[in-house]
Structure 1
């Protein structure tokens, strides 16, 4: 029997950061893989996700490798790292995601996507610093929503909900789920796939397999690794973010903050309009 092939591409979220097993990361995609088919049916799972990856990395590196594996199911969860770079361009992000989604669905793979939380809110940044990042993440999520519908993806709404404020679901760095949070993502994806008749195996367990890290262990990880992880991804953004924050303050003082939202919305609309308007691959 040919095994069901599941390929996961993306960044640290899909790599499994926050859900350590031994010396490696596991994560939601690995947990989901075990429930895609009955226990007596083989599943080949390949995780190509890399911490720090942006949409360019997914398009240029991970997608060719993923296509070569001829997956039956592929997850493409990406975008947060793009928002944390001074080079952020919603037109470029939209164009890259369009190419990635099109390539996998043209091969007949079931596509899994998700909208993601605002990193500024997760980090607890103050309004003037947080609003620009929130605006960027909303732009990415809007693009992902639109393209997921275009390509018939199984789409998980993960940008909102009580799970974002439940500290028991998140690791010490506030950006990555802990084991319980990764299991939450796996359970929710499995439910969507089961509803669509695409997952026939047992649902992943919602309860953690391993003890929750102690507070001291979490703080040690944050001090020795987590803070560095965040810093490496935000260093080039900081000067620009300060400029954006100053602009935010000026508009707030003038009562014209709505103009910033309107400009961002127009950029998203323009990015989507620039993409191919071809019918979804399954439309005939």
Structure 2
């Protein structure tokens, strides 16, 4: 299995995104005006290199890695992509019964199937969410374990990895939306740039790793108040959905199930 992208000069023509809310684009736009997200932004970069590129996005928010495999892999293979991104696992990581080996097993099955079908495949590692949300600091070992297993599975199948772990900018609050679970527009742009860099697309480089200008960080009472607002506005409702067996993706379907030019609805 080749170790890197095979398409010359990044001239891909059929790009399919698989995953959960990050690939769907939550945090970059809204459900009224429409979501953009890193996959749309990567498709824009692909179109700059190859104007005939067609793009499908099968991702649905709230999906676990096993659900992504069960619901999206078959349709993705039917679309015969020459490039696919597979980004999933954070929803699993937040669950009490998280099993990194099981999660990466689902990812690896997707890697293997897409690579066997002739597609180049790219994925990401995840930043330490405890540096974004202090209440999530106990989850750091899970993040590092998941990333280690993703790298190993990717290496076995020649999958390109955009390394989002280890770069301090990836935990800058400005790259995250107010819910601290989804990237902001700037964050989605950095993820797209990281994937473009890993794939070696024309015009890409490592500038996405550079830090943002310094800014004042809330401390003391202001920081505590911000944590309370986050718990009330986002953590509480998230826990409520889990207790009721609900998901943010209930009743939702893929936003771009067909391969179409980027500017087509």
Q: Answer whether TM exceeds 0.5 for this pair.
A: yes
Cα shift at 1:28: 0.7
The aligned residue for residue 105 of structure 1 is 115
Distance across 1 between alignment mates of 2:116 and 2:150: 18
TM-score, structure 1 as length reference: 0.66
CA offset at residue 165 of structure 1?
A: 3.5
- Is residue 177 of structure 1 aligned with residue 183 of structure 2? yes
Matches within 5 A, 1:1-284: 4-20=13-29, 23-38=33-48, 41-125=51-135, 130-131=137-138, 133-194=139-200, 199-200=201-202, 226-227=234-235, 230-231=238-239, 235=243
Report the 3-state secondary structure (helix = DSSP H, G, I; strand = E; otherwise coil) of the residue aligned with 1:45: strand
CA distance in 2: counterparts of 1:223 and 1:186, whole angstroms: 29
Measured in 2, the distance between the counterparts of 1:53 and 1:230 equals 14
How many pairs align? 215
CA RMSD of aligned residues (A): 3.2
Shift of 1:145: 0.6
- Pick the structure with greater CA Rg: 1
Alpha-carbon distance between aligned partners in 1 of 2:95 and 2:124, rounded to the nearest angstrom:
20
Task: Quote how far apart the aligned CAs of 1:123 are.
Answer: 1.7
Judging changes above 3 Å, is the alpha-carbon distance between structure 1 residues 181 and 12 closer, same or farther for their aligned structure 2 residues?
same
Deviation, structure 1 residue 37: 4.1
Greater length-normalized contact order (CA 8 Å, ≥ 6 residues apart) = 2
After superposition, give the CA deviation of every residue in 1:21-53 in whole Å (9 maximum; x if it has no partner): 652211011011111244662111111111111
Aligned partners of 1:228, 1:72: CA distance in 2, in Å?
Answer: 41
Contact 1:73–1:110 (Cα < 8 Å) also in 2: yes
| Unaligned runs of at least 5 residues, structure 2 | 1-10, 209-226, 246-265
Whether the aligned pair in 2 keeps the contact of 1:8 and 1:76 (CA below 8 Å) is yes
Instruction: List gaps (5 residues or longer) in structure 1.
Output: 207-218, 238-284
| 1:91/1:154 CA distance change after superposition, 3 Å | closer
